[in-house]
Structure 1
Amino acid sequence: MGRIEDKPSRRAFLGAGATMLVAGLTAGCEPGSAQPGRDAPAASAAVSPTGPHQAGITLPREAQPNLLVVVADVDDGAAVGPLLAELGEAVRTLAAGTDARLLGLPPGDLTVTIGVGPRLVRRADPSLPGTADLPQFSRERIDPRARGGDLMVQICAGDAVVPPIVAAALLGQAGDRLRERWRQSGRRGSTNPVNEGLTAPRNVFGFIDGIVGPHTTAQQQRDLWLTGPAPVAGGTIAVLRRMELDLPRFAALPVAAQEAVFGRRRDTGTPLSGGTIASDPDLGAKTPDGRYLVPADAHLRRAHSTAVGVGLMLRRSYTIDEPAPGLLFISFQNDIRTFTNTLTRMDNGDALLSFTTTTAGASFLVLPGFDERHPLGATLFR
C-alpha cells in the first residue's frame, strides 16, 4: 500500500553483529537501578530495540534522565527505505553494545526512537496517519529551520555521555543523505510515586508532570498505538515542542497562585478538587461561594481530555538550558487531533501558556517496530 519505490542503496547493511542482549523489558526509557554516585551505565538494564513497537515510548515506564533529539531532513535523492533500514540495523548493534562507534562505552539502558515527518509520509501514501503538519498556535517564535522536518531521532540513556555518541554514529551512518535541522538535549529530575508501578518527575516549574496518560494496556490500545492501516500498525504519532519558560515571573507568584495555574497542589500533585495524586479531578466541584476549586483557566481543566473531547496523550517533558531555560515537550498519541485540539483549547484561556514561548515544533509518524527479519521502515518504504 502506497510505498515509495526507492532505488537500491549503494551502502550495504551493517552486519547483524552479536546476539542481542536479552531484556525483560520490551520498549522505552528507564534509569534502571543506578543510584547517585554509582556507575550508572553499568547498573542500567539493557532494553531490547526490537519488537512490535519501537523502544523509547512506553516500557520501561520511567524515562531515562538524559535525552537528545535530532531533527533532520532527508536529501531528495536519497533512497528512504535503505536509509531507514541501515539506521535500524545500527540501532540494534549500538543497543547490543557490539558497535565500535560506542568507543568502548556500555550502552546501558539506551533506547532510540525514529519517526518520519509529514512530507515523507505523504510521499508514501497521502491517506496514512502522520501526513498533517502542525498548525501554528499562539505564543510561538519559531525559526523556519526549527519548524517541521523529515526525520526525528530520539535518544534516551541513563549515561549522559551516551546520547551524543549514538547521535554521531547514526548521523555518520546516514552521511550526506541527512541534513540536520536542530537538536536538543534535556534531562529529567527525580521521580515521585503516582500509582502502583507508576511514577512521574517534577517539571522545571516544580510540579509533578505526566500524571495522566494512557498507562494501562487498554488505554494504550485505545489512545496510543496505531492499529491500522497495516503499514503503520504498531506505530504512533509524536509531537515535539521546545519552549522557553518565564521562570522568574512564575517563581515570584505565591504558591497558591502557582497551584491555581496548574490546578494541582505543588507538593503532592493532588487536584485542587481533592483526592489523591491519581484521582480524576472533579471539574464541577465549587467552594461554598460558588468558585470552581479547579479554576476555569487552570491547565488541568483546559487540557483535560474529557473537557477537550479527545483521547489521552503520553506526555514527556525534559528540562533544557540551551538555547534558553525551558523544556522540551514530547507527546505520543494515535491521532494528531489529540494534541492539536488540546492546544487549541489551551490557546483559548490556559493560564500556563502566558509563561511559555514555543521556539521549535514538529510532528512525526513513529515507525512500527522492527527486528532482524523486518527492517525499520520496511512497511512503508522500499
Structure 2
Amino acid sequence: MHRADQHPSRRALLDVTGVLVAAGLTAGCTSDSAGPGRAAPAAADTPTRIPATGRHQAGITLPQPAQGNLLAVVADLDEAVAPGPLLAELGRAISTLTAGTDPRLLGLPPGDLTVTVGVGPRLVRAAGASLPGSADLPRFSRERITPQARGGDLLIQICASDALLVPIVAAALLDQTGDRVRERWRQSGHRGTNVPIGEGRTAPRNLLGFIDGIVGPHTSAEQQRDLWLAGPPAVAGGTLAVLRRMELDLPRFAALSVAEQEAVFGRRRASGAPLSGGTVSSGPELGAKTPDGRYLVPVDAHVRRAHSAVVGTGLMLRRSYSIDEPAPGLLFISFQNDLRTFTATLTRMDTSDALLPFTTTTASGTFLILPGFDRRRPLGSQLFG
C-alpha cells in the first residue's frame, strides 16, 4: 500500500490552491469559533491561540465551539519504525506550529490551530493487547469501504478557523515523518453555521439541514465519566476516536416533506427541539404518545435509535464535518472512553434507524487519542516510552 502523494510538498501546493479558490468563493462567511456567551468574532479578529500541551490533547474539547475547518490524515507506519521517537518528534513539531514559531507556517499566524494525534489498534496491541484502543471496528451494514480506507496506524487531525492553515500544517507534518509513514486516505471538512442550543453552547447544522451534536458529554463530570480514559496509566488522559466518512443521498432526502424529514431525525428541523416537545436542549420523551396512541418520536427515528439510555451506553462527543468530495456527505467523528459506546449504538441503528438508508460509509477507523504531552512528557511517551 503506497501513499498517493510521494511528494508531500507538491500535494500540499495543490491543496493550498484549492483552499485559496474556496476562500475566494466563500468570502464573508463567519467562523464558528465564538466561545460560550460570546458573539462570533468578526472575520478580521484573530482567534485565541490554543496551547498544544496539557493533560489532554487539544482539538477534542478545546476550543469550544470547534473550529470550522478540519483535515484528517490516516496513515500507516513502516513496520521497522519505532512509534515512540516518531510520535515525540511529531509532538515537538506540533508545539512549534501551534506556537507560531515554525517557519513552515509561511508567515501565517497559527490562530486557534490544533493538531490531535491518535494511534491505531495495531500499534496499541504492540504496546499491550488488553489496552483500550487495541480492538478493531467490526463491519457494519451500508459500508462500501476499500481496504485502503479501513483502519490505519496513525491519525493526524488538524483543525483551524483559517482554512489556509490546514493543508500547510499537514504538509509540514508529513514532511516531518518522511518515508517512515505511508498515507492511506485523507478527508477535509467544514462545519456549518452554529446555532445556540442553551447554556452558552452552540452546535452546527449538517448537510441535511438539521442541528448536529446536540447531545454529548458537555459538563466536566460527564466528560470524566464518558470521554476521558482514567487508566491504565499508559493511556490516562486520552480517549478513543471513531472516524466514519459517509456519502449522503441528498436528493432523496430533500424530496421528503419537512414533516417526513423531521420523522427521520425525531427533531424539528428549524429549532432542533424533539418531536415530543420542549426546546432544543430538552431530552426527548420517548414514551410520549398522541391521543390515538402513536409515539410522538417515531420508533425508527434517529434520536430514539441512538439514544444512550435506550442503547445502554455512555455519551459520545460527536462531531460532523460536511464534505463535498469524493461525494457530498459528512465526516463523522466521535470521542468516547469505551469503544462499545459507538459499536453498540451503531449495531442498534443497523436494525432499524430511518436515517441510515440515506447514508453509505466509504471510510472507517478507530484510534486511541494519546494523552496530552509537554516538554517533560513527550507525545506518546506513556505508551511507547
Q: Same fold (TM over 0.5)?
A: yes
- How far is 1:35 from its partner? 4.5
Q: Check conservation: 1:109, 1:158, Cα contact below 8 A.
A: yes
CA distance in 2, matches of 1:78, 1:102: 27
SS in 2 for 1:220: helix
The answer as to 2:208 corresponding to 1:205 is: yes
8 Å Cα contact 1:30/1:60 also seen in 2: no
Q: In structure 2, how many angstroms separate the alpha carbons of the residues matched to 1:221 and 1:35?
A: 30
Provide, for residues 111-136 of structure 1, a one-character-per-residue CA deviation record: whole Å limited to 9, x for no partner.
00000000000000011000010100
SS in 2 for 1:230: coil
Match of 2:358 in 1: 355
Aligned length: 351
- 1:161-200 to 2 correspondences below 5 Å: 161-200=164-203
Residues in 1 aligned to 2:357 and 2:161: alpha-carbon distance in whole angstroms: 33
Q: Do structure 1's residue 91 and structure 2's residue 94 form an aligned pair?
A: yes
**Post-superposition shift, 1:372?**
1.2
Match for 1:80 among 74, 78, 83? 83
Alpha-carbon distance in structure 1 between the residues aligned to 2:115 and 2:47: 15
What secondary structure, in the 3-state scheme, does the structure 1 residue paired with 2:57 have?
coil
Deviations along 1:40-95, one digit per CA (max 9) or x if unpaired, are: xx511100011000000012220100000000000111121000000000000000
| Map 1:7-26 → 2, pairs under 5 A | none
Residue 4 of structure 2 corresponds to none
DSSP 3-state at the match of 1:218: helix
Taking every aligned residue pair, what percent have the same amino acid on both sides? 74
AA of the residue aligned to 1:337:
R
Q: CA deviation at 1:34?
A: 6.3
Please, which of 34, 37, 48 is the counterpart of residue 51 of structure 2?
A: 48
**Is 1:153 the equivalent of 2:153?**
no
User: Which of 232, 239, 244 is 2:242 aligned to?
Assistant: 239
Match of 2:343 among 340, 344, 357: 340
1:64 aligns with: 67
TM-score with structure 2 length normalisation? 0.90
Aligned to 1:266: 269
Structure 2 Cα separation of the partners of residues 348 and 361 of structure 1: 20
Gaps of 5+ in 1: 1-28
Q: Deviation digits for residues 194-244 of structure 1, max 9, x if unmatched?
A: 111211000000000000000000000000000000100000000000000
Gaps of at least 5 residues in structure 2 are 1-30
TM-score, with length taken from structure 1 = 0.90
- Report the AA paired with residue 325 of structure 2: E
Give the drift of 1:317.
Answer: 0.2
8 Å CA contact 2:32–2:193 kept in 1: the answer is no
* Partner AA of 1:31 in structure 2: S
Matching residue's letter, 1:115: G
Are the equivalent residues in 2 in contact too, given 1:30–1:109 (CA < 8 A)?
no
Give the whole-Å Cα distance in 1 for the aligned partners of 2:318 and 2:197: 15
- Between the aligned partners of 2:77 and 2:297, the Cα distance in structure 1 is 46
